[in-house]
Chains A and B, each alone.
Chain A
Amino acid sequence: MTEDIQLISLLLTPLVGMLLLALAGRWPNLREAITLITAVVLFSESLKLAADVLGGARPGLTLIEMLPGLTLRLAVEPLGAVFSVISSGLWIISTLYSIGYMRGNKEKKQTRFFVCFAGAIFAAQGIALAGNMLTLFMFYEAMTLITYPLVTHHGTDHARNSARTYLGVLLGTSIAFLLSGLLATWVIAGTLDFRQGGILVGHLGATGTALLLVLYMFGIGKAALMPFHRWLPAAMVAPTPVSALLHAVAVVKAGVFTIVKVIVYIFGTDNLMSLGSADWVPVIAGFSIISASIVALRADNLKRRLAYSTVSQLSYVTLAATLLAPISIVGAIMHIAAHALGKITLFFAAGSIYTAAHKTEVTQLDGIGRRMPWTMTAFSIGALSMIGLPPAAGFVSKWYILSAAMSLEHWLAVGVLVLSTLLNAGYFLPIVWRAFFREPPSAGDAHHDAHHDAHHAAHGEAPLLMVFAQTTTAAMTIGLFFYHEPVLRLARAVAGAF
């Protein structure tokens, strides 16, 4: 009974938060207080759940019978616990950041913004706790729809057109591929529950499994596997806190989380391994990693570069999951956590630069590290994590994925990982170098943004809340390198003992 309440409250907390936020729209201070309190309450609930799961508990609860024989169900397993903790924990920090950003940039419609933000977290919790594929699918679609108003926040034509791409790709892939995969699974296996070892074992031959896997891999558009990645850069039209939390953590992680979940609990790693039906996925994922990195290398717009870096990093998770070894599954889950922390730091920094200096392009960043040392230090740590260098969390996950690829003698994956590390360094280190080692432009050089310089000639650091948020996540990125025991234990429980 208490377990039931515990599970339900993880969904109810953000829902109640949404309602209160909508009601408190007229009083910004109260509204922001509500967001923060909701986020803190949710995080504590989520931590409690994760602790229980570490202790071996596997709470489950049937919400409602939707169709005869098919229920909406919550059930927690270690992977869900990891995603729940990441999304709720980073919500607190990004709330602090959002308050600074939205006020600093005098954004309009802030109430709608905070309500939809809470709604996205609600959907993320639903995805994390979903006990079967149908429940997961419902929250997955809910997340697409509730984030739509966030992507279109500015209401301009550009925002509308980008949001068309966003919605078109995400809804299109999920309806055309994921839903057909889901229904096929239901018809073939007679269940949609998540089970250790998979539910398709013995139901489907190698070709059928491979076809079904195509539907899932491309149907989960949020994982941004090429060629269905275009929504991610398009979504960068949103305010930066949205890009930070949603398009570095909640939405994209919902995608790769679903991929890992489907591989482990629907198909079953051993099943896929023996059938050989997943052999093609690492190739596509590797292609995504490399080509997205090349696009990122050429992008001058900072957020666009980060977006393509995300596309590339997401495919690390897909690649790792479809290597199918227990240790690579651990690497995939570790990378979900590590990339979330690193990328949110990078986006926070990009937003800080925009708020303080109104700069959006990489080439404008010469010498900015002298004026914004905190921001650029945080950025550098995030970049280290993306490249996968110690002492940042990205090193840990890359280590696991690389050793899995090595032990499987999967030389394509090894090659992709090495090349991508070089490319990552190639597009992140120049930014760090520009910021710290190049002279700031003199007023005469930058006549095209003379207007901005007039206003921001004396700009310093971003607002305190924003600086606080990004240094916290940067510190956590390093923290996860030294202390990742709980995540590792949860990940091992997902992958099965090894």
Chain B
Amino acid sequence: MLTQHFPALLVVVPLLAAPLIVFVRRSLPSWLIALLATTITFGIAASLLAQTMSGGTISYAMGSWEAPLGIEYRIDVAGAFVAVIVAAMGLIVMPYSRVGIATEVRSEEHYLYYALMMLCLAGLLGILVTGDAFNLFVFLEVSSLATYVLIAMGRDRRALVAAYQYLLMGTIGATLYVIGVGLLYLETGTLNLADMATRLVEVGDSRGVLAALAFITVGISLKIALFPLHLWLPNAYAYAPSPVSAFLAATATKVSIYVLMRYFFTIFGATEVFDARATGAILLGLSLAAMFVPAVVAIFQHDMKRLLAYSSVSQIGYITLGISLDSVEGLMASAMHLFNHALTKGGLFLVLGGVVLRCGGAGFDRLAGLGQTMPVAAFAMVVGGLSLIGVPGTAGFISKWYLVSAAMHEGQWWLVGAVLASSLLAVIYVWRFVEVAYFRAPPADHPAPGEAPLSMFIPALAMIAGCVYFGIDATWSSEVAMRVAEVLMYNPGVGQ
């Protein structure tokens, strides 16, 4: 049966598409291969989610070598949920890319763009399905290396610096992670995550475990861009080609958050992380700082891409805040916001990509008068912005709803105020765009007005429409998020 190989195929399909594209080299066939591969990948991810929703955890022995000797692929509803987000984003970005990169990437490099996108996709999905700590590191590096090059493809020369900055910080993060894994291997003698979780209970409290927890937390936090380890993110998002910004904003940090949740709840076990150590308090403090400081910085930006990037750092704070509450409700709120923010921020970057194509930049001086020159795109940006604020009727509201009620369930009433006060900062930075778009005259040298090409416009608007849809009917997303939270919370040692 083919379906039983789905966990492997999820990674193999995009991984094989990459060299194939390099062989083909021509732009159009490369694009077609990438499109086909992302479509298949999405189908697999969706089917895996359906299977895990009904049937629990799927385990797959790579090359029929049983764990703990061989590498085990293990996917439950939490992994499948994030995999669907990643694969769906890949599927949306691909049709968009054809025109989207035409002006932003040199035509002889188009095949490289598609090949690297495939590698990045394979790496991100690999992180989600693997059940092996070292294999996870390998996939983390696969996706990161692809990302560094993708960012460097940006037209602006500063893209090179941005990529280099991310390369340095990303490598430090990955190194810290691998040191942590090494320590865990030393303590437990296994790299299989499920195995590791059970053996850690026997090992109990030791300096080695504590050090491993610290290394892994800091290493992954770098990849998450958890404040104050976010310094690479604004430049990377601002100077990468538009489809890359959109794809990364919706997926890369989200996958790292998944890894953090996995280690905290499944491997170390929540009691170990939260009760015995100060991890919860530290994460809470950093999340609060993330919710406020970058939001204030976002208010003072003069470039929409940078504004959205800082907003991302701020929104990541909401997700980690949910984790730090150490409750099912909190985790559910995190899972919910992971999905809703991917939808919102991905959509915003996609719309912005079309705007950049027409206006020649994302600076506020270029976006002035957007309400007249590109009315639909401007309105879509406003709708996405409302979702960032969390206005009712948008996906962001649902996240906020669950996050605040999670805080209330924990009796942390003061957090309610913090979350809502932070949304007021979002009002301010979103309204900066509104005033630029609707109260300023378009620049004199504005090229012929008109909306973005349809191949970019339709995917972008589809995501913005998704923001509204999942804000009004959130029964599906909240059901899945609830299952994700339960699996993470109550399945230490992954379905033992």
Chain A residues within 8 Å of B, Cβ to Cβ: 64-68, 72, 134, 137-138, 141-142, 145, 152, 155, 160, 164, 167-168, 171-172, 175-176, 179-180, 183-184, 186-187
Contacts and interface: CB of A to CB of B under 8 A. Distances in A.
Given A164-B431, A172-B427, A145 B405 contact: no
Contacts of B43: none
A180 B475 contact: no
Contacts of A160: 435, 439
30 contacts: A66-B472, A66-B473, A67-B401, A67-B474, A67-B475, A68-B475, A68-B479, A141-B393, A142-B392, A142-B393, A152-B438, A152-B439, A155-B439, A167-B431, A168-B427, A171-B427, A172-B427, A175-B389, A175-B420, A175-B427, A176-B417, A176-B420, A179-B404, A180-B404, A183-B401, A183-B416, A184-B408, A187-B405, A187-B408, A187-B409
Given A175-B420, A176-B420, 20 more contacts: A65-B473, A65-B475, A68-B479, A141-B391, A141-B392, A142-B392, A142-B393, A160-B435, A164-B431, A167-B427, A171-B424, A172-B424, A175-B389, A175-B390, A176-B421, A179-B420, A183-B404, A183-B408, A187-B408, A187-B409
B250 to A, nearest CB: 23
A141 B431 CA distance: 16
B420 A66 contact: no
A145 B473 contact: no
Contacts of B475: 65-68
Interface of B: 386, 389-393, 398, 400-401, 404-405, 408-409, 416-417, 420-421, 423-424, 427, 431, 435, 438-439, 472-475, 478-479, 482
Given A145-B386, A175-B390, A183-B416, A68 B435 contact: no
B342 to A, nearest CB: 19
A168 B432 CA distance: 13
A233 to B, nearest CB: 20
Contacts of B479: 68
A47 to B, nearest CB: 29
Contacts of B386: 145
B404 A175 contact: no
Contacts of B401: 67, 183
A186 B405 contact: yes
A112 to B, nearest CB: 10
Contact of A145 (B391, B398, B438): B391
A176 B423 CA distance: 9
A155 to B, nearest CB: 6
Contacts of A167: 427, 431
A250 B413 CA distance: 33
A428 B405 CA distance: 48
A187 B431 CA distance: 31
B392 A138 contact: yes
Main secondary structure of the interface of A (DSSP, over half): helix
B200 to A, nearest CB: 34
Contacts of B408: 183-184, 187
Contacts of A155: 438-439
Report which residue of A64, A66, A68, A137 has the largest number of chain B beta carbons within 10 angstroms of its beta carbon: A66
Contacts, number: 73
Contact of B478 (A64, A68, A172): A68
B425 to A, nearest CB: 11
Nearest to A138: B392
A184 B398 CA distance: 15
Contacts of A64: 472-473
Contacts of A183: 401, 404-405, 408, 416
Nearest to B428: A168
Contacts of A180: 404, 416-417, 420
A184 B405 CA distance: 8
Given A64-B473, A145-B386, A138 B424 contact: no
A64 B474 CA distance: 10
A171 to B, nearest CB: 6
Contacts of A152: 438-439
A68 B473 CA distance: 10
Contacts of A186: 405
A175 B473 contact: no
A466 B132 CA distance: 76
Contact of B423 (A67, A142, A175): A175
A172 B423 CA distance: 9
Contacts of A72: 472
Contacts of A187: 405, 408-409
Contacts of A175: 389-390, 420, 423-424, 427
Contacts of A184: 408, 416
B117 to A, nearest CB: 35
Contacts of A172: 424, 427
B475 to A, nearest CB: 5
B385 to A, nearest CB: 11
Contacts of B392: 134, 137-138, 141-142
A164 B431 CA distance: 9
A172 B417 CA distance: 12
A165 to B, nearest CB: 12
A294 B386 CA distance: 38
A175 B473 CA distance: 21
A141 B405 CA distance: 20
Contacts of A134: 392
B315 to A, nearest CB: 16
Nearest to A159: B439
B373 to A, nearest CB: 16
Nearest to A187: B408
A15 to B, nearest CB: 14
Contacts of B400: 179
Contacts of B405: 183, 186-187
A147 to B, nearest CB: 14
B427 A66 contact: no
Nearest to B408: A187
A175 B396 CA distance: 13
Nearest to B474: A67
A65 B424 CA distance: 27
A138 B435 contact: no
Nearest to B424: A172
A284 B390 CA distance: 30
Contacts of A66: 472-475
A112 B421 CA distance: 32
Contacts of B472: 64, 66, 72
A232 B268 CA distance: 55
A184 to B, nearest CB: 6
B386 to A, nearest CB: 7
A385 B431 CA distance: 39
A176 B439 CA distance: 27
Contacts of B431: 164, 167
A152 B427 CA distance: 17
A67 B401 CA distance: 10
Nearest to B400: A179
Nearest to A137: B392
A183 B401 CA distance: 7
The interface centre, meaning the residue of B417, B420, B427 with most chain A CB atoms within 10 A of its CB, is B420
A184 B417 CA distance: 12
A215 to B, nearest CB: 10
